[in-house]
Amino acid sequence: MITTKAKILLNINVTASNIYKIVLFIEGMPKIKAGQFAMVDCGKTDGVLLKRPLSIHSFDNDTITILYKALGKGTKALSRMQKGSIIDIILPLGNGFEARNYSNIALVGGGLGIFPLYSVINEYPQKNYYAYLGCKDKHDFVCNDIFNEKCRKTLIATDDGSLGQKGLVTDFLASDLKRFNAIFACGPKPMLKALKNLVVGTQIPTFVSLEERMGCGFGACLTCACKTIRGKERVCMEGPVFDIKEVIL
């Protein structure tokens, strides 16, 4: 983990539902693992003082790409920041996905939880991937094309049927379970609960990245505590990636 400066190379709106893509140049980039996140400075205007936790979508030697939705005061302020601006950033944070021991991996994403899953493909490009991606409607999808390109199968589901299949991704995942020797997932709690019910009794290692509100991002404030079989643990430190059998959803 380092605290450093990042230069904005790109910051654009990519959907009608206010999802933005920001590309940051970081000199002396630390080693990043798939599933880790960054605490990103959103400027000091409009009373925005705290950095915001944002998952890393992809990374290379000196840049990271983040997809985020301009929802609250902080991310809306970030969306207004211009190319060439210099911002403070802390990264990489948390524990990520470990794919070295698996060959056939299901990537299960819901809503904004789709964004960090691509970082697994980014770090481990030689694996066989099967993506199951769900959103409310077609306007929330921004990166299904890259999953189509990199995965052996990409199933798209929307609540209203406006893109792909109508329904929940976990419903479509059920019939394919025998294909995988690992499942990596990120998304809203109801999706993760359904996934946990689906894999109970199977021998498939399943790891989930939890989405929780955070204050500091490095374990000091305890804002992001979640329930596990060991008691309360910090999503920013012990997570955000947990074995699904160990978290109480």
- For the chain, the average pLDDT equals 93
Bridge partner residues of 225 (DSSP) = 234
Number of C-beta neighbours around residue 14 at 10 A: 12
- In tens, the pLDDT along 84-97 reads 999 999 999 999 99
Rounded CA separation 68/16 (Å): 13
Reported as type and span, the H/E element at residue 234 is strand 231-234
Cβ–Cβ < 8 Å for 223, 241: no
Q: Which residue has the tokens 């929307």?
A: 158
Q: Look at residue 33 and tell me whether its pLDDT is greater than 80.
A: yes
- In tens, the pLDDT along 235-246 reads 989 999 999 999
- In tens, the pLDDT along 178-222 reads 999 999 999 999 999 999 999 988 999 999 999 888 888 877 888
- In tens, the pLDDT along 101-158 reads 999 999 999 999 999 999 999 999 999 999 999 998 888 888 888 999 999 999 999 9
Q: Look at residue 45 and tell me whether its pLDDT is greater than 80.
A: no
Reported as type and span, the H/E element at residue 186 is strand 182-186
Retrieve residue 165's tokens. Answer: 């299949």
Q: Is 118 helix (H, G, I), strand (E, B) or coil?
A: helix
pLDDT of residue 219: 77
- Report the percentage of the chain scoring pLDDT > 70: 99
Q: Kindly report the backbone phi and psi dihedral angles of residue 31, in degrees, each rounded to the nearest multiple of 5, phi listed first.
A: -70, 130
Question: In order of start, what are the domains of the chain with their CATH numbers?
Answer: 2-93 (2.40.30.10), 104-209 (3.40.50.80)
Rounded CA separation 65/55 (Å): 9
Q: Enumerate residues 6+ apart whose C-beta is below 8 A from 195.
A: 108, 170, 173, 183, 185, 206, 208, 244
